[in-house]
Amino acid sequence: MSDFISFKSLKRPPKPNTCLVAPENFCLAAEPDFAPPVVPLTGRGLYSRLSEVIASERSWGKLEADPEQLRIKFVATTGLMRIKDDVDIEVIPLEDGKATFAIYSRSRLGYSDLGANRKRVSDLIRRVTTN
């Protein structure tokens, strides 16, 4: 039994301490903050690249990974305050050997995250798409 979220039925809380990135019409009950890039890698290739980037970040600990479903769940711990945020990723294979993904990063505590989740997601996307 996995603890992966369902992006299709995901409902965001009214608090501004989340960041959701997903392709158009991928999330049926939530509006993404922005769309992810399409990456010139297969679904498995993008999954491997995401896994490498996550493993290289000392403050991120992988909780669960499913290479068959192309899903990753990890906890990111913030620097000074040591606050834990949850991050779910689903890789979405596309045609022609390309892929994209959905990412949902959210704070466990507090009302506002001062943009920390959006920054984390943007940094992760930059690192995955830059060689």
The string of pLDDT tens digits covering residues 65-83 is: 999 999 999 999 876 777 8
- Structural domain contains residue 2: no
Given a cut of 50, is residue 25 above it in pLDDT?
A: yes
More confident residue, 46 or 1: 46
Asked, for residue 6, whether it belongs to a domain, the answer is no
Short-list 106, 79, 87, 78, CA closest to 12: 106
Print the domain residue range for 45. 18-129
Percent helix, strand and coil across the chain, each rounded to 5? Answer: 20, 30, 50
* Residue 103 scores a pLDDT above 50: yes
* Residue 9 placed within a domain: no
Q: What is the mean pLDDT of residues 94-104?
A: 97
Comparing CA positions, the residue from 96, 101, 102, 103 lying closest to residue 42 is: 96
Residue 1: the pLDDT is: 42
* Strand bridging mode 71-77 / 84-93: antiparallel
- Would you state the pLDDT for residue 18? 94
Domain count across the chain: 1
pLDDT at 101: 98
The answer to whether 64 and 73 have CB atoms below 8 angstroms apart is yes
Q: 62 in a domain, yes or no?
A: yes
